[in-house]
Amino acid sequence: MLDAFVAEFKTGEELGASFTLAIDGEVVVDMRAGHADRARTRPFRRNTLAPVFSITKIVAALMIARLVDQGKLSYTQTVASIWPEFAQAGKAEITVEQVLSHQAGLSGLDKPIDRILWYDAPAICERLAAMEPLWPVGSASGYHPHTYGFLVGEIFRRVDGRSLGTAMREDLAIPLGLDLWIGLPDTEHRRCAEVAFWQKPGTLKSTHRAVEYALKAKWASPGGQGLGAWRRGEFPGGNGLATGPALARLLGALACGGSLAGVHVLSPEAMDLMRAQRIVGRDLVLPHTVSWGAGVMRNAPYMHYGPSPDAFGHAGWGGCVAFADPARGVSGAYLLNRHGPKAIGDERAIRLVAAAYDCL
């Protein structure tokens, strides 16, 4: 496993990275190397916070699963029963699980906005509530890279009363001692890794409007406020920051019965509901066939999270990944700051996970 990790740096594919493996929620491997900044002046340390991008979605999905576990919400409940304004434009029957599994047809905003507006969650939610789905709901999944966080965050807020990022810190991160954030205070910004983004043109060739509004439109993503504002904001679909041990331990709770260090995270029954397949097929936005649970990527058909068909997790932009394997009690996280070109299936992550399983 160490050889596989070191090899990534010898080939020049990494700037800074960490790989963490936990068994039954206890960290057994915690490797890191390289630099946290593009100038190569800061080492990638144990407390370096890496942007985990869409891995944030599995944390948001876990927070929704906890509401289901507590009997405050049902996956089959309509979103409009919680959020009445959402019933507009033919969306009255869309369910919570359809939103979580990217079936709601709202992969991006279909009308131009100033990119600064993404920092105004009520305004974005108002537009999503009024919008007509981009494809027949339930007919396919279409990955919601940015809108997912607003939809799930608003569902959570309407049921719980707190923002999802605040609740995650209060209910999980602080009690479990996890260095995991959705909305980062200024005092922690100095620990953040800088990202070396992939500079070559993207490979998404689909002309479906779901892709256009999700990723290609000039207004498709937040902008105009600077990196500090992005870190401070709460975007439950994509601006989480974490250390590898934090993610590996949190996913470890899902790999070993639902509790961690005496803290109840999720019952086994609720975990099974969360990871149960909602839809499988060629995604309209991602260039892959994806099996979606309620906010989690199931291991089949590509088996990126090791050999177990029961494993599940989520990939993040640039190549990072976090996963849980209930059949083996194993969880892990691969974080990095030099992006690769793939949204799913970065070869670096696949090689490291395979090497980890070879050692078990």
Residues 23-55 have pLDDT tens digits of 999 999 999 999 999 999 999 999 999 999 999
Cis ω before 307 (30° cut-off from 0): no
Q: Which residues of the chain have pLDDT under 50?
A: 201
User: Which of 54, 141, 291, 308 is labelled catalytic?
Assistant: 54
Neighbouring residues of 263: CB distance < 8 A, sequence distance ≥ 6: 172, 175, 176, 253
Would residue 267 show up in a list of annotated catalytic residues for this protein?
no
pLDDT of residue 205: 62
pLDDT of residue 275: 96
Neighbouring residues of 6: CB distance < 8 A, sequence distance ≥ 6: 33
Give CA–CA dist 186/279, Å, rounded.
Answer: 40
pLDDT of residue 6: 93
Secondary structure of residue 47 in the 3-state scheme: coil
Residues 274-320 have pLDDT tens digits of 999 999 999 999 988 999 999 999 998 888 899 999 999 999 999 99
Neighbouring residues of 155: CB distance < 8 A, sequence distance ≥ 6: 64, 73, 79, 82, 83, 96, 99
pLDDT of residue 303: 86
